[in-house]
Amino acid sequence: MRASLIQLSVDSSESADERRRRAASLARGRTGDDLVVLPELWTAGAWAYDRWGYDDEGVDGPTAEIMSAAAREAGTWLHAGSIVERDRDGRLYNTALLFDRSGELRGRYRKIHRYGFDSGEALLMGGGSDVVTVPTDIGVIGLATCYDLRFPELFRGLLDAGAELVVVPAAWPAARLSHWQLLTRTRALEEQVFLLACCAVGTHGGMQQGGHSAIIDPWGTVLGEAGTAEEMVTVDFDMDQVAKIRSELPVLRDRVLAIEPPPR
């Protein structure tokens, strides 16, 4: 299969509508790809908290509309990164959207772990509660977002729900780039999955985003990695490697799920 990460520049000088048009144009050009991925909160800006109340939308809003059309025109599965979703209850959520080759919305994931330590996203957004996997013609895709990388329990949940490939859109800060590179490789290796991690670049809300989007195989090997500019990462890989590697190194079979704490 062939997958592409669109490492989009998210800069405060550009409006959400302008970014939507540009991102859709890039996605439409990916004919021949099986899966295309965009970063986290690229429409509103992951760090522009003051914009979220203006650029929020529904899961059937302008981003979904234009991304659905792009997926259909390219004939690819399209992970549209995430949007600032305003639900019927008026609460905001960081919500990822996955469209199939016909443009149908097949997966919706509300980010469970919200970053900010009682401020920012953690204060302004609600948290999801569902572990989301989507069966597709290319394998079972698991959904996670940015800060989720720091919580291995979620990735074990995705594994137990059948994930063979995990997509992680992000707006990871450049100041903690080494953490991004370590955690993405670790999650791929420990779950024995392909991991597609797409991070934004540019500066938004005063935060420089780290880039270095990467496609990583179940051995933890980086198959393709971007730098710090807006660019595309495209890699061909064999999904059959998931079953092969899990058979050759059956660490997942050897998991001990219940470990009793020592007596006190």
Q: Which residue in 57, 85, 121, 146 is the catalytic one?
A: 146
Q: What is the pTM of this model?
A: 0.96
- Please, which residues have CB within 8 angstroms of residue 154's CB and are 6 or more apart in sequence? 112, 113, 131, 144, 148
Burial 213-229 (b: 16+ CB within 10 A, else e): bbbbbbeeebbbbbebe
pLDDT of residue 220: 98
For 40, 91, 98, 149, the CA distances from 115, given in Å and listed in that order, are: 13, 16, 22, 11
pLDDT for 131 equals: 98
Q: Examine the residue annotation and report whether 18 is marked as an active-site residue of this protein.
A: no
Tell me what pLDDT residue 169 has.
98
Give tens-digit pLDDT for 125-145: 999 999 999 999 999 999 999
The answer to the question of residue 48 being in a domain is: yes
Q: Is 85 a known active-site residue?
A: no
Confidence of residue 76 (pLDDT cuts 50, 70, 90): very high
Overall number of domains in the chain: 1
Question: Which domain does 40 fall in, by range?
Answer: 2-248
pLDDT of res. 134: 98
Whether 64 is in a domain gets the answer yes
Residue-wise pLDDT tens digits, 220-244: 999 999 999 999 999 999 999 999 9
How confident is residue 258, by pLDDT bands cut at 50, 70 and 90? confident
Taking the C-alpha atoms of residue 246 and residue 253, their distance in angstroms, rounded to an integer, is: 9
Residue 254: inside a domain = no
Tell me, yes or no, if 244 is annotated catalytic: no
What's residue 205's pLDDT?
A: 87
Q: In this structure, is residue 29 part of a structural domain?
A: yes
Q: Within a domain: residue 75?
A: yes
Catalytically annotated residue among 57, 85, 111, 199: 111
Q: Quick one: average pLDDT of 76-99?
A: 96
- Please check whether residue 258 lies inside any domain of the structure: no
User: Does residue 257 fall inside a structural domain?
Assistant: no
Per-residue pLDDT for 40 more than 90? yes
Closest CA to 186 of 225, 216, 221, 220: 220
What backbone phi and psi angles, to 5 degrees, belong to 174? -60, -30
Q: What is the mean pLDDT of the chain?
A: 96
CATH number for position 54: 3.60.110.10
Whether 82 is in a domain gets the answer yes
